[in-house]
Structure 1
Amino acid sequence: MIGVRTLGTEVWDEAKASGAEKEILQMVGDTLLRMDPATRELRPGLVESWQVSSDGRTWTFSLRADIRFHDGWGPLTAEDVKFTWARVISKESVALGAGILREAVNGNMENFEIVNARQFRIRTPSIQIDLPLNLSNGVLQAFTIQSRRYFGAVGEERAVTHPVGTGPFRLASHVRGQQVTLEAVASHWRQTPGFKTVVVRIIREEAAMLAELQSSTLDLAPLSVSLKREAQRAGLHSSSVPSTANAYVVFGGMYPGHQNYDRNAPWIQAENPAKGRLVREALTLAIARRAIVERILSGEGQPAGAPFSFIPGPFRFNDPNWKVPPYDPARAKRLLAEGGYPSGFTMDMPIYPLAGRPEVEDIAHAVADMYEMIGIRVNRIPMEYRPTFRARLAARATKGMVFVNANTFYDEPAAFFRVAGAPEATLAFIHDARVSATVKSLSGELDTEKRMALARELGNYIVRERLAAPIASMSGMWIMGKKVGKVQFITSMATLNSVEYITPAR
């Protein structure tokens, strides 16, 4: 029995999945490539081999020969891959990876060539060095392959409520708003699960999760790291997943050129952008990062000097010059006055839970408290991320809002901005011409060292202009009951993954 805070929309459709739904989809299905849980190196998945042409623009993928869909729905073919890809990039799609996959084929499925039943070829309009990564289970936007034949036979409505995949589990039953029951696939081609039955149950409150873990009615759950000591006192074991996310403050409405550009927001001030930057600097200096790490994250993280995908740590894309901003509320007040707001202003702050990152809500409340200390009037608006707030991001409808978000680790910084920082992305926190231009250069650079240098250049610009306010990196924390022996989650991923590798206690 696994506890989770949310299962998103509870519609198991790759064209509509962008959050917690993917946790179930990746148990029922498989991605084209897989990531080694310990090293984050790419490994074969449904694809057994892949290669790129010398000009970096033609990718050829070969599928395994022994893969079949559950319940007799036939062998996996390149037609199924093309079918799923086309649905994910359709106009109706709200999939997190829609923008990346659309860009890969230049918005035209004619650039997806079926060579034969087991081989397909992608012709990209430019070099996209991170394409294999984006087809793996190591990123949130990755997608599993769904059966073209099954959708055609039973219709979309049934296909997305009773999914059929190639993964290590079958979906046995689903009680909406309560739980999903999955059954292990015997002799699965990749990994036969250690537990024959897995129930994923929605439990909104962490206190209830901890109580059920103590009573052995629950076996595994993600809990705030602040509960680690309490869980240990109860005799429960924990598994920490480092660098799972970077938390930061997003300034809403920063969409120049878009109809929802909030040009008069205090943190933008399009007629006087220097003053807008002063306000963003004030909102950055008002945050007590070390206090958040110690009190909310129980030391399981570190203060950050850069936002978005630039997670603190020994990663090649980081720059040691990105210093953690000091906590200086007095200076923050002076900067507010210099920016034209000596008496502060009013902002809306949506506060929402994120799958695998329960601390984000607490961090948001802490940041709201800190802003109120410098004279900002904060309207706290509790809501669900999906579908409510995510729909706002997709529509760029964040006028008057400042909010705390956290994103997972990205091996290639460009991947994050193509998902959430570009005008063509399904959803975006910012639109910025220089960011977009640098991301295009990043995506087209084959030389790793040059690519990392470009990433640092991008980070320097974001830090210098305070396009978002960094807070802290976060570690994921899973608490295990007595029935669970070993877990093997992917390094730097906070969401539920690799369930098939969980072993029973001896």
Structure 2
Amino acid sequence: MRMLTRALPTGVLLAALLCSGAVMAGAERLDRGNGPEPSTLDAHRCPEVACANILRDIYEGLVAEDGAGRLIPGMAESWEVSADGRTWTFRLRKDLRWSNGEPLDAGQVVASFRRALEPATAAPHAHHFDAVRTIEAPDPGTVLFRLQRSLDLPRLLVLPIAYPVYLPAVDAFGARHTRPGRLIGNGAYRLKEWLPQAHIVLERNPHFREPAPIPEVRFHVTEDAASELRRFEAGDLHITETVPPQPLASLRERFGGQLRISPYLGSFWLGLNLRRPPLREQPLLREALSLAVDRDVLTRHVTGLGEAPAFGVVPPGIAGYEPPSPEWAQGTQAEREARARALYAQAGYSRERPLQIELRYNTSTPHRRLALAVAAMWREVLGARVSLRNEEWKVFVGNRRQGLITQAFRGGWIADVDDARDFLQLFHSEGANNWSGYVDPEFDALLAQADAAATLEQRAGALRAAEARLLQAHALVPLYFYTSKHLVRPEVEGFEANPLDRHPSRFLRLRD
């Protein structure tokens, strides 16, 4: 069919091309898929990967990470720790500035930390800093942390909760300090535009010490992985946030080296609401639901991109930690299913008197496929009646947090740090992210024992005992351990695999 471009004025044609999104902006703009709409851009209140990816570009902590995930100097040019591991001193770079050009000093860093850690902020990751006794600024160029126990503090200081928030904007605008024109950061980029359910645009921060190679970054809301894949194929995206479940051989044939799959410190499970019947008083029923799931089938035929079946919470690959192997996970799947049916009957259910349960998940093609598969297994093995409900991310997160209307729900965690405790703290009875409402004083005591341990071996032993106790209670249904999955266009340089799957835009380049 003949193209009718001559019928359009040049200016109209150019405008149409620029608005289409199908034309890459050369080396001037990086287009990244980013999953669901971020729930917030308040660094201290960021609970998920979608906001952390963006905040990592807008802010910089005392310590930063390079493109390979290695710790590097951030706001602090150097740091040192006392012999007992309880006092950390960070020396700031000279001439630090906010993205509005104002000077940034140690006093502002300390004030921001106080806001992050005060209970009124309700920061979801404040637990990482439970060991902090005081934070001081003895002079404008020094930040001093005094701890109640030794702690590998630098690796925590790369998290969004440790970013310096510009408090004058918080005081002036409250929760709306995160909007364009109001959000002041200190990183390589600054917020330019936020179009809800579409994209967030960042532009190069002219006051950052090193100009970012790419002038502009656009983070696209890509809640549906299949749609994201189509947008990548159409040229709308340089990098996808994930890859939808498809046969791996087919993906490799289609995309070759553009497909990037690597180990990832993350776990996926189904949470069980322990605040209300029928799951609260029924450990046998919870165990039956877990045993009825064929994890090998899920990882081979439903996810299918290198994920490993999971019978625990903490993923493999964490240094110095050997996860427990629960007794109920032993044997063949046929044996597990036979035990599941027996436990289901002991709990008072049968095909004539079936369990009726709702499985809730956030809107996403992979999550829908997984929910359908698990529901089919529960129906086939146990005779349970399963209803499915999907919700937009923000709605789902809110319902999961308050725990009143959920029964079984999509859970999971991506490591903040390379530490087994990062996963186990989710089930502490007072934890901000204890979505299931799991309460066990002995489990809490084991976490406290790990915190007070004199050696790394003692700490690992206490954490292993805590995980074993959690799994024996069947407070969740472990499903699989993640891999990171991205499609990356050939012109993107500097995209390096790392176990935490963090890729700051300032370490990426676009080849012309």
Task: Using structure 1 for the length normalisation, give the TM-score.
Answer: 0.83
Give me the whole-angstrom Cα distance separating, in 2, the residues matched to 1:398 and 1:56.
42
Q: Which of 71, 89, 100 is the equivalent residue of 2:100?
A: 71
Distance 1:41 1:436, change over 3 A: farther
Give me the whole-angstrom Cα distance separating, in 2, the residues matched to 1:149 and 1:339.
57
Could you tell me which residue of structure 2 aligns to residue 257 of structure 1?
none
Q: Does 1:363 align with 2:370?
A: yes
List gaps (5 residues or longer) in structure 1.
Answer: 254-260, 270-275
| Shift in Å, 1:292 | 0.9
Correspondence 1:74-473 to 2 at 5 A: 74=103, 76-101=104-129, 103-105=130-132, 111-124=134-147, 126-127=148-149, 129-137=151-159, 142-151=161-170, 155-156=173-174, 159-162=177-180, 163-185=183-205, 188-189=208-209, 192-224=211-243, 226-227=245-246, 229-235=249-255, 237-253=258-274, 261-262=275-276, 265-269=277-281, 276-307=282-313, 310-313=314-317, 315-319=319-323, 321-322=325-326, 324=329, 326-327=332-333, 328-342=336-350, 343-352=353-362, 359-373=366-380, 374-386=382-394, 388-395=395-402, 397-398=403-404, 401-409=407-415, 410-418=417-425, 420-429=426-435, 430-473=438-481
- Superposed CA offset, 1:397-420 (max 9, x none): 2566112312113422223333x2
| Count of equivalent residues | 467
Secondary structure at 1:462's aligned position in 2? helix
Secondary structure at 1:79's aligned position in 2? helix
List gaps (5 residues or longer) in structure 2.
Answer: 1-30
Structure 2 letter corresponding to 1:60: T
| Shift in Å, 1:474 | 1.4
| Shift in Å, 1:316 | 2.6
Is the contact made by 2:131 and 2:149 (CA closer than 8 Å) also made in structure 1? Answer: no
- Superposed CA offset, 1:67-125 (max 9, x none): 21113122x21222223223323444243213434x3456xxxx33221112233334x
Structure of higher CA gyration radius: 2
Is the contact made by 1:225 and 1:296 (CA closer than 8 Å) also made in structure 2? Answer: no
- Superposed CA offset, 1:132-179 (max 9, x none): 332224xxx644212235545x54455321322121112222222211
Identity of aligned residues (%): 21
Give me the whole-angstrom Cα distance separating, in 2, the residues matched to 1:32 and 1:218.
31
Q: Judge which range, 216-225 or 277-286, deviates more.
A: 216-225
Give me the whole-angstrom Cα distance separating, in 2, the residues matched to 1:14 and 1:366.
36
- Superposed CA offset, 1:168-204 (max 9, x none): 1122222222111112346943x64332221112233
Structure 2 letter corresponding to 1:389: F
- Superposed CA offset, 1:34-80 (max 9, x none): 34554x55433223334444554444333222421113122x21222
Is the contact made by 2:271 and 2:476 (CA closer than 8 Å) also made in structure 1? Answer: yes
Q: Judge which range, 222-231 or 294-303, deviates more.
A: 222-231
| Shift in Å, 1:392 | 3.8
Q: Does 1:49 align with 2:88?
A: no
Q: Does 1:497 align with 2:507?
A: no
Distance 1:144 1:7, change over 3 A: farther
Structure 1 letter corresponding to 2:267: N
Larger helix share, 1 or 2: 2
Is the contact made by 2:203 and 2:217 (CA closer than 8 Å) also made in structure 1? Answer: yes
Structure 1 letter corresponding to 2:268: A
Is the contact made by 2:309 and 2:481 (CA closer than 8 Å) also made in structure 1? Answer: yes
Distance 1:14 1:144, change over 3 A: same
Cα root mean square deviation, aligned: 2.9
Distance 1:12 1:6, change over 3 A: same
Secondary structure at 2:263's aligned position in 1? strand
Give me the whole-angstrom Cα distance separating, in 2, the residues matched to 1:482 and 1:299.
21
Give me the whole-angstrom Cα distance separating, in 2, the residues matched to 1:97 and 1:49.
25
Give me the whole-angstrom Cα distance separating, in 2, the residues matched to 1:384 and 1:304.
26
Could you tell me which residue of structure 2 aligns to residue 27 of structure 1?
57
Could you tell me which residue of structure 2 aligns to residue 256 of structure 1?
none
Structure 1 letter corresponding to 2:165: Q
Is the contact made by 2:318 and 2:419 (CA closer than 8 Å) also made in structure 1? Answer: no
Give me the whole-angstrom Cα distance separating, in 2, the residues matched to 1:214 and 1:392.
35
Distance 1:428 1:478, change over 3 A: same
Distance 1:158 1:100, change over 3 A: same
Give me the whole-angstrom Cα distance separating, in 1, the residues matched to 2:317 and 2:146.
35
Is the contact made by 2:184 and 2:190 (CA closer than 8 Å) also made in structure 1? Answer: yes
Task: Using structure 2 for the length normalisation, give the TM-score.
Answer: 0.82
Is the contact made by 2:116 and 2:161 (CA closer than 8 Å) also made in structure 1? Answer: no
Distance 1:321 1:315, change over 3 A: farther
| Shift in Å, 1:245 | 1.5
Is the contact made by 1:302 and 1:312 (CA closer than 8 Å) also made in structure 2? Answer: no
Could you tell me which residue of structure 1 aligns to residue 91 of structure 2?
62
Give me the whole-angstrom Cα distance separating, in 2, the residues matched to 1:242 and 1:407.
14
Give me the whole-angstrom Cα distance separating, in 1, the residues matched to 2:222 and 2:472.
41
Q: Judge which range, 84-93 or 51-60, deviates more.
A: 51-60
Secondary structure at 2:245's aligned position in 1? helix
Is the contact made by 2:75 and 2:92 (CA closer than 8 Å) also made in structure 1? Answer: yes
Is the contact made by 2:80 and 2:89 (CA closer than 8 Å) also made in structure 1? Answer: yes
Is the contact made by 1:36 and 1:490 (CA closer than 8 Å) also made in structure 2? Answer: no
Give me the whole-angstrom Cα distance separating, in 2, the residues matched to 1:120 and 1:46.
10
Give me the whole-angstrom Cα distance separating, in 2, the residues matched to 1:207 and 1:319.
34
Distance 1:82 1:360, change over 3 A: farther
- Superposed CA offset, 1:185-227 (max 9, x none): 46943x6433222111223333322222122122111233524
Q: Which of 459, 465, 475 is the equivalent residue of 2:483?
A: 475
Distance 1:136 1:377, change over 3 A: same
Secondary structure at 1:222's aligned position in 2? coil
Distance 1:203 1:390, change over 3 A: closer
